[in-house]
Every structure is written in C-alpha cells, then in structure tokens.
Amino acid sequence: MPGSLVAVGSVTLSVEQMSLFTALLALVALAVTVGLVAVGATAGGRRRLRGLRADMMRLAFSIAAVSTAASLWFSEVGGFMPCELCWYQRIAMYPLVVVLGVATWRGDPDPRWRVLPFSVVGLLVSAYHYQLQLFPEQGSSCDVAAPCTQRWVDEFGFVSIPFMAFCGFAAVTALVLAAGAADRDANLSTREDA
C-alpha cells in the first residue's frame, strides 16, 4: 500500500520514490511541450525540427509507453484504485502505445489523424480531472469508493496523477503535431524547389 517498499526485480522502490520519479518525468514532458510550441511558432524553428521528425515520433512513443507503465505500476504495484476519470485517461493513453509504436516502426508519414483523437481527448479529460482535484467542492459523478478528487500523488504541491497524465498527453500531442508540421513544411519546400 502507499508508503510501503515494493521490490521490482532486484530494485526496491517505495511509492514515494515512484511518485517523485514520475512527477519529474511529467515536468520534463511539460518542458518538451513548451519548448516545441516555442520553437514551432516560427518558420525557422519548424525548419530546425524537420530533421528531428523520427526522433519526435520515437519520443512520443516513449512517453506513451512510460505513461502506460506508470499508471499500471500505481494501480497494480502501488495499490492505488483508479477512479472513473482515471479509467477514461487510460482508455485514451493505452492505445497510443500501439498506434505510435506501429507508426514509428513503419515510418508512417502522417500518424496525426490516428494519434490526435486519443491524445486530445485524454488531454481534455485529464485537464478536467486535475481542476476537479483543485476544486473538489464542485462534486463529481465518480464512485465514492474511488473518488475523482482523491490525490494519491501530491509532489511539489501541484503535481498529481491527472497533472502527470495531462503533461503526457500534451507532450504526445505537441510532438505528433510538430512531426507532422515538419513533414508538411518539408513537402512544401520540395514543391517550391521544383
């Protein structure tokens, strides 16, 4: 249960250590998102991103895979009971591992329309869930046994599981959009050169 040590292979990991580790990863994902938005805001920045398309897709896949593994760790190893909104976020994140994995492996030229429905819905659900935790007096339709306002993780005074999910969905969305924009800009410049 929360607070206890859990052996994972030859490593002993407490729930607090895992919470801190995943909170730090979420903040890195948020920094990636902000950085991509800033760089992608200009034509020169988008030109710089062109050569990173495959890397952006691999990073999006890695974020989805780590997010999925972390959510399973918290519920199956850490003993946290997912609420209804957590399940909706899982429903949006888990398929992204497969979709992004296949898109990355096959070198899919434009996976945006397969990825964005999942990532944007997950982004919206996690944003709603996070604000519900911040303002619990609103009430919700979640089960009393697994309330959506429960803060299983509270790192740095603001990082909770829905916040981490929001950061993951935001990073995946930004990476896939940036990879698609880099590909689109490369195609436009090729047409202009012809």
Using one digit for the tens of pLDDT, what is the confidence trace for 137-164?
Answer: 887 677 777 788 888 999 999 999 999 9
Using one digit for the tens of pLDDT, what is the confidence trace for 106-126?
Answer: 988 888 999 999 999 999 999
Q: Is the pLDDT of residue 90 over 80?
A: yes
Q: What is the DSSP letter of 137?
A: G
Q: Is the pLDDT of residue 78 over 80?
A: yes
Integer CA distances (angstroms), 5 to 14, 77, 133, 154, in order: 4, 10, 26, 18
Q: Which residue has the higher pLDDT, 33 or 46?
A: 33
- Count the alpha carbons within 13 Å of 35 in the hemisphere toward its beta carbon: 12
Sorting pLDDT into bands at 50, 70 and 90, what band is 175?
very high
Q: Which pair of structure tokens corresponds to residue 13?
A: 């990991």
Q: What one-character-per-residue DSSP string does 38-104 give?
A: HHHTSHHHHHHHHTTHHHHHHHHHHHHHHHHHHHHIIIIIS-PPP-HHHHHHHHHHHHHHHHHHHHH
